[in-house]
Structure 1
């Protein structure tokens, strides 16, 4: 039926019907020819905890090692520890997450567990704020060096839910085995990665080596990698960070 054969008062309706048909056909063709845009990777969050006497901003260049597309939507947090007197440094005031009684730290060094637990509350508040902003807990990673590594372990074990992972560099276990009873089933599922130089003179290798057995006792799996760094002292190497980056990517992809 041609448009001329349609009564005059019905012609607007006929034109509209034609337009709808054409638009529908075009939409169908375009949907077949243009592939759907890839979904953005989920937002992730990475907290880096510095060592004794250091600061958060001084560690920000670490993020340059995380250039893969998976980190395009990663938010970073480099908090600074409060200023406090530190026993092992003759009471000198410096950035410190908790008190340390002696240096070098050994597998049997005494721990100030009360100040450790106070520091844990600080990091948990950072995590909770990010969760409230919409980031899933399994997309949140806690990493730290030396004193910050010890706090990383404490933070992960005492958080009530499963996190994306925790990475400890040259850290130690900052509390005794009695804390195991406080570890939630969710926390026990958080993957752990541990680096420790075998010639570390500040946090002795034996202090780091005690961690896997402690974690095993708590029912937590930990990838312990000291054998790859036999000549490493108390520092972080680019090789460690280059290993951490794909490790985190693997945890993100496994969800």
Structure 2
């Protein structure tokens, strides 16, 4: 993958944007999969949050018989400790850093930016956010794991050691096991991160109660 400008769907607030949520989709999806979520969040009418829903690059995915689809990284196997192709993860991290830099160049401070993601996108929001060397407003990680399985990423950034993390997972998730989410959460807690954990009686999806929790959290970290 090359570090190029990604196509994306951008949803602007009714007034000048002073905050931003960069929302990363899961395997085989696109930015269009989550972009309809903005009105469902029922944010205050005068919110100043720009939502950016990038489309991941297309590449062959090993566990899907090499089929080409939008993917932040190749998934080599279902083994949690050997699932993510780390070289791809690092390439996508650079792409996401570039998305953040675009917002900085447009006048939005790093501590007014939230990195959010679902499944593969959640893996990338955690990995990139924990290593990013400017303070972020928050990290939202939905139905995901850490790319190294039972280890935190290398080169953790001191700038985001106190950044709020909202970590959510479905108790009936048959795609990313609930245990994988709990393992990642425990690693974060043990390392002293400011992480809130919520679980829901759901499979690998997003539900209304979860969206209410996300809305409340966004309004708090992006106030």
Q: Same fold by TM (over 0.5)?
A: yes
Q: 1:162 to 1:46 in 2, by over 3 A?
A: same
Q: Max radius of gyration: which structure? A: 1
Query: 1:182-193 maps to which residues of 2 (within 5 A)?
Result: 182-193=155-166
TM-score, length of structure 2 as denominator length: 0.86
Q: In the aligned structure 2, how far is the partner of 1:252 from the partner of 1:41?
A: 15
**Alignment partner of 2:76: what SS?**
coil
**Alignment partner of 1:194: what SS?**
strand
Q: In the aligned structure 2, how far is the partner of 1:219 from the partner of 1:121?
A: 26
- Pairing partner for 1:250 from 198, 204, 220: 220
Per chain length, whose mean CA-contact separation is higher, i.e. which structure has more relative contact order (CA < 8 Å, sep 6+)? Answer: 2
In angstroms, what is the RMSD of aligned CA positions?
Answer: 1.9
Counterpart contact for 2:165–2:194, Cα < 8 Å: yes
* Corresponding residue number in structure 2 for 1:236: 206
Counterpart contact for 1:86–1:93, Cα < 8 Å: yes
Q: In the aligned structure 1, how far is the partner of 2:94 from the partner of 2:139?
A: 16
**Alignment partner of 2:89: what SS?**
helix
Q: In the aligned structure 1, how far is the partner of 2:62 from the partner of 2:216?
A: 38
Q: In the aligned structure 2, how far is the partner of 1:122 from the partner of 1:252?
A: 23
* Corresponding residue number in structure 1 for 2:100: 127
Deviations along 1:61-81, whole A, 9 cap, x unmatched? 011123333763211111001
* Corresponding residue number in structure 1 for 2:171: 198
TM-score, length of structure 1 as denominator length: 0.76
Q: Which consecutive residues of structure 2, in runs of 5 or more, have no partner in the other structure?
A: 1-14
User: Does 2:139 correspond to 1:174?
Assistant: no
Deviations along 1:139-182, whole A, 9 cap, x unmatched? 101111111111111111111012111111101101263634x1
Q: In the aligned structure 2, how far is the partner of 1:132 from the partner of 1:219?
A: 31
* Corresponding residue number in structure 2 for 1:21: none
**Alignment partner of 2:167: what SS?**
strand
User: Which structure is higher in helix share?
Assistant: 1
* Corresponding residue number in structure 2 for 1:92: 67
Q: In the aligned structure 2, how far is the partner of 1:52 from the partner of 1:71?
A: 33
**Alignment partner of 1:250: what SS?**
helix
